[in-house]
């Protein structure tokens, strides 16, 4: 298994959650000494650590959302776009993506933010240009992931980027790590939990580099 790369953020009792969210809690409710076995309960939201945002996170749906786990398995790409004045360059994303030998439907962006996890600097704003929506749609991207806590346009209101992308069935994976260890072409697995009625899910995200 050592050829697999873990892209998942570790969650501990000291994990620094998104500003305004409730702190992660883990409580041991049973012990070997008193009960003959250990058992823990967790208090957390579905947007802590590495997770997938479902459509219902930002959209009002008419029926319960059905999640096909096979959407989150497959060949993928990673690129490292330029960031100028906290704006991620869509032009640079387009140019790097078009230069890839193999262009896949799963695209990750290495923004060099993972090193900031569990610090206030991790939550300093970084933005996308609205025209990235057209690029993703035209290239049939179905998953966009990055090593950042959230996706947003500059000066957006009401989770506009989430609504645009999720409205076109482009799922978002947030809080990735170790993207710098990936080749630009790799195999990805990131399975959501099978919990009915949630708007997002924690995942264990792993990848294996494909031969160049």
Distance from C-alpha of 6 to C-alpha of 183, rounded to nearest angstrom: 14
Half-sphere exposure of 160 (CA within 13 A, CB side): 13
For 155-211, the pLDDT digits (tens) are 998 899 999 999 999 999 999 999 999 999 999 999 999 999 999 999 999 999 998
For 95-124, the pLDDT digits (tens) are 999 999 999 999 999 999 999 999 999 999
Q: How far is CA 79 from the centre of its chain?
A: 15
Write down all domains in the chain, each with its CATH number in brackets: 4-209 (3.50.30.50)
Exposed, middle or buried, 99 (CB in 10 Å: 0-12/13-18/19+)? exposed
pTM: 0.95
Distance from C-alpha of 167 to C-alpha of 97, rounded to nearest angstrom: 23
Residues, the chain: 212
């Amino acid at each position: 298994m050592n050829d697999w790369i873990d892209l998942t953020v570790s969650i501990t009792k000291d994990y620094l959650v998104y500003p305004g969210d409730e702190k992660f809690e883990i409580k041991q409710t049973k012990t070997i000494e008193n009960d003959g076995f250990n058992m823990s309960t967790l208090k957390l939201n579905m947007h802590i650590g590495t997770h997938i945002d479902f459509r219902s996170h930002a959209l009002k749906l008419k029926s319960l959302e059905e999640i096909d786990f096979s959407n989150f398995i497959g060949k993928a790409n990673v690129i490292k776009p330029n960031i100028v004045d906290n704006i991620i360059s869509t032009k640079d994303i387009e140019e790097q993506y078009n230069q890839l030998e193999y262009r896949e439907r799963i695209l990750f962006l290495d923004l060099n933010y993972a090193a900031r996890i569990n610090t206030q600097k991790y939550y300093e704003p970084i933005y996308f240009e609205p025209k990235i929506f057209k690029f993703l749609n035209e290239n049939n991207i179905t998953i966009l992931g990055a090593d950042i806590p959230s996706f947003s346009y500059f000066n957006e209101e009401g989770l506009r980027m989430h609504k645009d992308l999720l409205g076109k069935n482009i799922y978002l994976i947030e809080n990735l790590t170790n993207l710098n260890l990936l080749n630009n072409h790799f195999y990805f697995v990131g399975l959501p939990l099978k919990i009915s009625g949630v708007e997002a899910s924690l995942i264990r995200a792993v990848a294996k580099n494909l031969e160049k």
